[in-house]
A and B are shown apart, each in its own frame.
Chain A
Amino acid sequence: MRKFLAIVVCKLGRFVGKLVGKGSSMPGKFALKICPDILRRVQLPPHIIAVTGSNGKTSTVEMIATVLRGQGKNVIYNAEGSNQVEGVTTLILTHATLGGKVNADVLLLESDERYAAHSFKYFHPTEFVITNLYRDQLTRNGHPESVFDAILPAIHPDTELILNGDDPLSSCFAIGHENVKWFGLNRCATDTETPTGVYHDGAYCPVCHAPMEYEYVHYNHIGAYRCTSCGHARPTPDYAATELDLQNGKLILDGQFTVALAFRSIYNVYNILAAYAACRECGVEGAAIADTLSSYILKNGRMQTFTLGQHHGTLLTSKHENSIAYDTNLRYIASTNEDCTVLIIVDAVSRKYFTSETSWLWDIDFDQLNVPHVKRVILSGMYRNDLAERFRFTGVQNWEVIPGIPDAAAAIRDSGSEALYVVTCFSDRDKLLNLPDVKKEG
């Protein structure tokens, strides 16, 4: 009876919530109050794929959903990003019959890394993709190892782990777990021999703290690592990107499936790899995955193009407090080789909570902007002084501070026609995009 009531209340709550434009977590919250173990009592689809990690969750989930739907599978997933247990409950119950059978072939969940253990208390994923573990939102997450410790209890012995073999920390989830599939990027032309970036999280083995060595590095501390003491090392991937040409936007998976990259970022490559591995594990042919993901454009709005005066602008959105996401966007700008202006905005550190914490700026490798084609860098927003002090410790010379975002936009509008890249967070992007002079595209 409680199960039935919880499902009815959730469905009704979701219906009303949609009418009044409310979020998706409240109906699930009510359902959990009525029947705390409701998620154990429902009949779930044969495939439950969860995706967690510091970066790439939303993109990976979007790609998996697109591929599986393209194969005719009925996929339900938390597209609204409600990735804690209440949102997951809403998703499941709104797609369940009143008897508790979830009408889908695949339940696909983007899972908050800190709350995964809570979400998977009453059921567990059949496939669990962990994209990576980096320094991310330390104001909320503590540090990568504390996130690792939070995810670990969420892993059921029967779950198949799909892990990034190139990440020395998240690969540790395989220790003591039998059912593991690895994805990874093989050596490619843009690799370096040693880790890049301001800090070096791959310096010491996450298992035994002995020094680690690298055969090659794709970015930051992601690559072919090997501990000099305990042998913790990059495994041979089950699903590999065997060739990558970022310049021409070409990726080859497992030596035979070619993907044309819509966004030529190494981040995008890892998201594709994670989605490819998950879809292959669900029985989809490699060629079909490659076809679907070729020129696939993410719908999550992280890359918005626009015009401002004579400038064609690209908004590169990444979370503040995530240095690797910033590094990747800066690396992208450095790779374009076209004259450009870069506007960096740090106005509200987070859109979800208050903080004045700006330590994360010191983890970002802004020196990547020290290239001839970056003609001008403008620092703007409330925390422009913190940005400016950080820039004083880079080799970048042509930076300036314009405190107000409208003033910064006006200064750009009134001068030149070079490309414009805006690097900022979800919390600040609309402060630029909503300016009258900014004309959004697409």
Chain B
Amino acid sequence: MISRKAAIVGIGQTAYSKASGKTELALACEAIKNAAADAGISVADIDGVVRYDGDSTAEAALTSHAGLQNLRWMSSAGYGGSAGNAVIAHAAAAITAGLATTVVCYRALNERSGKRYGRAETWIAGRARVDGSKAFRMPWGMLAPPHSYAMFARRHMIEYGTTSEQFGAVAVALRRHASRNPNAMMQKPITLEDHQSSRMIADPLHLLDCCIESDGACAVIVTTADRAKHLPNAPVLVLGAAQGTGTRAHGGIFRDSLAVAESTSTARDVYRSAGIGPSDVDVAMIYDHFTPFVIFSLEAYGLCKPGEGGPFVEGGRIEFDGELPVNTHGGNHSEAYIHGLPHVIEGVRQLRGTSTSQVDGVEIVLSCSSVAQLSAAVLLGKE
């Protein structure tokens, strides 16, 4: 079992921006260097790497340019944001199995200045035809992420009476956290009225339900729990980790239910892996590509009852001074969209006591990501 065998000892990031002016390789190198420095190790001490399968950079380039010259174990995890926690799960598994002792997980992307998910012409230019599940979506104008995730939001509204104002409560909370985070791209606080009057993108999703698009990179260094004791930072233990799928996940929107995030089995498995339950979670980092998914994940991970996520997020309950703080860095929504790895980094900060929206007495952090195709989660805790 992997519980408490591996620990996060280093976190690194670049500046987050709309135009980095750097290659994705340069961003990856910078984040890895920063994470190694934070961990108090040399880049050459890193013997394992987990990349996002969609990353434009890969192992070979990192040997030449970042100095990852002693790699003996390599892996990747997929499906965009779900990889944000999956990479940590892979690293912990490899460390537990003895395949590597010090693993770096990273994500680098120029999503804003390069291929923008919200601007289909930047990635389908010149394509007269599309294959796979895209062939059953794109000819009807389902091109960008808001189009498919709006289907989930609508279905939750239909089945549970969830409201746009409740999505707005998530947006207000996330922006409040970002307003306290000097690294965040969007720091100007917003009100519920701002959310409601923001332009409609894909009804029911307003502009302020959508995450931002960013350039930047993040890296996280995981090592053995024993080795972590001899490094400068207080170790953040991987208490549990899990990945999961839904049924019929191909294409996302063709799954059985759009009102339930697919993370039901992932939630069960991550808690089982750690030997703890939802009531033990002090702070949650939830993949927030769109605000409704915070509500869906609160339900899927047992932090509130199914169908009650809408009322749950109201009244400041998920703000850093509320009952269950969520995304105290501002999340994908307002800090930066680096595919969920900043969520892990913020979870580490909460456990180190260094968040800009620090919560008192944090012992257990859940970080989870459900992107309606695959999901992944980790539970992090103190030594």
Whether A associates with B in a native complex is: no
- Interfacial residues, chain A to chain B (CB-CB below 8 A): none
